[in-house]
Structure 1
Amino acid sequence: MSTIPTTEIIIFETSEEFRKDASILRPAFDMVSKSDGIRKPIYSGTQIENPTTGYLFLNWDSLAHHQAVMASPSYGSLLETLKPAFGGPSKMHHVIFNDHPIALEQPVTEVLLITLKDPSHRAEVFDILGKISDQTKKMIVFGPTLEDENTIIVVGGWESVEVDVWIF
């Protein structure tokens, strides 16, 4: 199996139950944590400005490791354990970030989806994001989604919301 670390990001509409008690994801986390190629910990949270939007971040040794889990007979059971947390649609992305996503270890994580209107600017956008990533000592990481190279996900980690506002 190829071993390029890949981050799975699920952006989902949260259920009322999840907003009251995020620990309802524990059974799903317990199942996934036994998978070959998963890098612990698994991160989850809600958007501060809009708690009806939730995020799951799972770091894998490779995309192939995650695909193996999705192809396994137990995947249906895993999806069932996630249902109580989901209050509506979800979208899964896979990203190979420019560096290890240490931003996820911070108390506040910012997620930004950029859609390139003109793909000819990709190199310029990557250059700018690379400089920002370097200036923040990799507290901001980025990468195109494997599903659509014109969608770039940027993840920043901050000590507080106020620090994020100050930087930007």
Structure 2
Amino acid sequence: MKFTLLLFPLLALALRSQPRSRTGVTEHVTLNLRPGISLETTNAGAQDWIFQIVGKWSGFQDGHWGLELGDAPTAVYWFFNWDSVASHQEFTRSPEYPATIEKVESLASSFSAPHVPLQPFPPREVFASPVVSWVTFNLTGVANSTATTNWQATANDFLGNLTRVSGYRAHSSGWEVEDSRVFSVLVGWESAESLGAYVISRSFAEGFRRLVSGVAWEHRVLRVAGYVPKL
């Protein structure tokens, strides 16, 4: 689910239409950076300003941010832990919100920001790792609720088996609030090398093939770059 920045005002409207759940949620933000933007050097101040505003909000718990793995990242990821979707909704109605969005517009050409009630929550063990893989599975094509339940059982088995994989640290997962057909998984790794060794293994190939049969999926790998504290 991606939005051009011309549609930023619709984010607040979309959030207000969501159920006012009191379950803790992690906002998964992907920013597709404008050319020449670097959030570790020349544009770090703009990102820090955003984190200062968000960090002071009463419903915000904490968060982490990371960069697309590689020499010249074109995407940055923010993972904000909120008390509830309602807490974030309240922030979108605050006087600080328009200026925050304006600052984001200076950094990114487009973004997505689904909310996921992850388990375990908050996913701090995942982000204690230097490398995180983020996989989303879209079950739009799955026939019925029984098939979805069976898929969830397969996913649980796959994730449970990760504890036996060298280099695995922790994982957290859940269904998106905005689109209940999308299942999101965050997995922490000791290194990019340990993740790479796993994805070329036979056990990964066999287990993952069962997960993605008839299911659309997307995979991102990020380098954890920092912590976003509650202020």
Report TM bin, short chain. Answer: 0.7 to 0.9
Q: Within 5 Å, which residues of 2 pair with 1:93-112?
A: 93-100=114-121, 101=123, 102-112=125-135
Q: 1:167 aligns with which of 198, 210, 213?
A: 198
User: Which residue of structure 2 lines up, in the alignment, with residue 67 of structure 1?
Assistant: 89
Amino acid at match of 1:89: S
Structure of larger gyration radius? 2
User: Which residue of 1 is the match for residue 221 of structure 2?
Assistant: none
In the TM superposition, what whole-angstrom CA distance separates every residue of 1:132-159 from its partner, at most 9, and x where no partner exists? 4444468122111111111111111111
Distance 2:30 2:86 in 1: 21
Consecutive aligned runs of 4 or more in structure 1 exceeding 6 Å deviation: none
CA displacement, residues 31-90 of structure 1 (integer Å, 9 cap, x when unaligned):
1000011112x222221157212211100111111111012122101112223321x111
Corresponding residue of 1:129: 155
DSSP-derived class of the 1:114 partner? strand
- Confirm or deny: 8 A CA contact 2:65 2:78 kept in the other structure: yes
Structure 2 residue 26 is matched with structure 1 residue 7:
yes
User: Identity of aligned pairs, percent?
Assistant: 23
Give the alignment's Cα RMSD to 1 decimal: 2.2
Residues 103-135 of structure 1, C-alpha deviation per residue, up to 9 Å, x if partnerless?
122111111121112153322232233234444
Residue 26, structure 1, aligned to residue 48, structure 2: yes
TM-score calculated relative to the size of structure 2: 0.65
Q: How does 1:29-44 map to 2 (within 5 A)?
A: 29-40=51-62, 42-44=63-65
Supply the distance in 2 between the matched residues of 1:141 and 1:129 (Cα, whole angstroms): 12
CA 1:2–1:113 in 2, change beyond 3 Å: closer, same or farther?
closer
Q: Is 2:149 the partner of 1:118?
A: no
Instruction: Give the equivalent residue in structure 2 for 1:17.
Output: 37
Counterpart AA for 2:176: T
Q: Please give the alpha-carbon distance, in whole angstroms, between the structure 2 residues aligned to 1:110 and 1:98.
A: 16
Unaligned 5+ segments in structure 2 are: 1-19, 164-168, 200-231
Tell me the secondary structure at the aligned position of residue 109 of structure 1: strand
Q: Which amino acid aligns with 2:119?
A: N
The structure-2 alpha-carbon separation of the partners of 1:25 and 1:59, relative to structure 1 and needing over 3 Å to count, comes to same
Q: In 2 relative to 1, CA 52–63 (structure 1 residues): closer, same or farther, beyond 3 Å?
A: same
- Range with bigger deviation, 43-52 or 149-158: 43-52
Q: Would the aligned equivalents of 1:129 and 1:142 in 2 still touch at CA under 8 Å?
A: no
AA in 2 matched with 1:107: P
Q: Secondary structure at the match of 2:78?
A: strand
Structure 1 unaligned regions, length at least 5: none
Tell whether 2:186 aligns with 1:158: no
Indicate the residue corresponding to 2:229 in structure 1: none
